[in-house]
Amino acid sequence: MIRYLLLLVTSVALFSPSFAQDLKSQIDEQAQALEEQVVAWRRDIHQYPELSNREFRTAEKVAEHLKSLDIEITTKVAHTGVVGVLKGGQPGPVVALRADMDALPVTERVDIPYASKEIGEYNGEEVGVMHACGHDTHVAILMGAVQVLSDMRADLKGTVKFIFQPAEEGAPNGEEGGAELMVREGVLTSPNVDVIFGLHINSKTEVNTIGYRPEGTMAGVDRLEIKIKGAQTHGAYPWAGVDPIVTASQIVLGLQTIVSRNLEIIKAPAVVTIGKIDGGVRSNIIPEEVSMIGTIRSLDPEMQDKIHRRIREIATNIGESAGAEVEVIINKGYPVTYNDPKLTAQMVGTLQEVAGEDNVFLRYPVTGAEDFSFFAQEVPGFFFFLGGMPAGMNPEEAAPHHTPDFFIDDSGLTLGVRALSRLTVDYMDQYEPEMGK
């Protein structure tokens, strides 16, 4: 009887708050011990970046790491993706953690020992390749979290699914890829994911800080194409034709009234940008056709629909008034990256514990886009931003993402490892079966 009581007391102690606190301390200690390794992973991946759907070396590095930790893996998901499954020692929810792996067609200009010298091919052109958006840090951080969580697998109250995703920046022309393809291939099933967490490094936010926002946190993005057909004529006799260049110019100006005059901008931000106009071959010929391409950003589905409608109305009516034919093509891209409000409220306390309450802040929505949105459409998601700017630097002097001078301070990566690991353990600890229904 005494032996039975001792076993019972021991069992209760294992699942007491002090035991949970021990796990948290273990995460902090292991993440700190892994700091040099995580930085080394990041710098290696940074030095050898790979474009979307071509992340072969990165995927192999990830797969080898997961195999070394005896984690069940699946490779070649959505072309080059790697998915690992870690089954905890106790029943519970399935928590997914995601990192994107691809780089950009940008030539690096930063003077660091591990700068990229890689050359690749992007849509038929030879380009420099650089991790100019910090996906190298995401991969290294998640590799660190994999190791931390695998070392405590016997104590985990559930299962962790590690998603290393290709092609967040968009698949090459003629190919599919990214989160949307991973979802179609069943990455959120077998086992079925209950929630998903992800992070993004930010070059203009100081290291060891975390920003977040409930509901719409990053914009939905659509691709816009407008084709204008006029009537070609000599540049000296414009009245003899229909000028698609003048028509295009009026359309560009007209589109700018959508955000400034048609949208309730205090509700949510939006952007309509024309990024390229193509038409004509020489100075004295008015061409027959002009084409334009651009991007639409919105954080509200109703506003998104209104933007689409107004673009068609403005472009076609201006074209008609000029005697030109106008075709508007809108291809929907990434949805709004939406943070589940209940999940966000539930987990913000974890981020505050990990980073310190003063270092966690509510941020403005971002008109950039993220295909994490496809995961968050299927299951509750929480996507937050990790500081990567050197401490004390003026954000106005920090290079933005997608530029040759983009730079991330490695000293903030350990906070990322701790945050993803703690979110996992804390969610499992708070989970009740009805939460997943």
20 versus 378: which is more confidently predicted? Answer: 378
Lowest model confidence (mean pLDDT) among 10-14, 314-318, 351-355, 361-365: 10-14
One-letter identity of residue 7: L
Q: State pTM to two decimals.
A: 0.90
Instruction: Please measure the distance between the N-terminal and C-terminal CA atoms of the chain and give it in whole angstroms.
Output: 41
Handedness of CA 154, 160, 165, 169 (dihedral sign): negative
Q: For residue 10, what pLDDT is reported?
A: 40
Q: Tokens 């949208």 correspond to what residue?
A: 263
pLDDT tens per residue across span 382-420 = 999 999 999 999 999 999 999 999 999 999 999 999 999
pLDDT given for residue 261 in this prediction: 97
> Which residue do the tokens 């490695």 mark?
410
Q: 194 Cβ partners below 8 Å, 6+ apart?
A: 93, 94, 95, 379, 380, 431, 435, 436
Contact in structure between 270 and 307 (CB atoms under 8 Å): yes
Nearest-5° Cα angle at 126, 82 to 60: 20
Is 155 labeled as catalytic in the residue annotation? no
Residue 13 pLDDT more than 90?
A: no
> For the segment 65-84, what is each residue's pLDDT rounded down to a tens digit?
999 999 999 999 999 999 99
The pLDDT of residue 105: 98
pLDDT in tens, 223-256: 999 999 999 999 999 999 999 999 999 999 999 9
Q: What is the mean pLDDT of residues 317-339?
A: 97
Long-range contacts of 118-124 (CB under 8 A, 24+ apart): 118/48, 118/49, 118/50, 120/50, 120/51, 120/54, 121/51, 122/51, 122/172, 123/172, 123/173
How would residue 15 be classed by pLDDT, with cut points 50, 70 and 90?
very low
Dihedral sign for Cα 51, 55, 34, 199, please.
positive
Q: How far apart are CA 328 and CA 315, in angstroms?
A: 8
Active-site residue, from 136, 168, 222, 409:
168
Q: Distance of CA 154 to CAs 23, 89, 148, 158, 436, Å?
A: 11, 4, 12, 10, 23
Give me the mean pLDDT over the 103-111 stretch.
Answer: 98
Enumerate domains of the chain plus CATH numbers: 16-217+336-436 (3.40.630.10), 220-332 (3.30.70.360)
Per-residue model confidence (pLDDT) at position 267: 92
Binning pLDDT at 50, 70 and 90, where does residue 348 land? very high
Q: How many CB atoms lie within 10 A of CB 126?
A: 9
Instruction: Spot the catalytic one: 50, 55, 100, 102.
Output: 102
Q: Report pLDDT for 434.
A: 62
Is residue 111 annotated as a catalytic residue, yes or no?
Answer: no
Residue 12 has pLDDT above 80, yes or no: no
Q: Distance between CA 195 and CA 8 in Å, rounded?
A: 32
Predicted local confidence at residue 433, as pLDDT? 74
Distance (Å, whole) CA 258 – CA 270:
9
State the average pLDDT for the chain: 94
The pLDDT of residue 175 is above 80: yes
**pLDDT confidence tier of residue 135, bands split at 50, 70 and 90:** very high
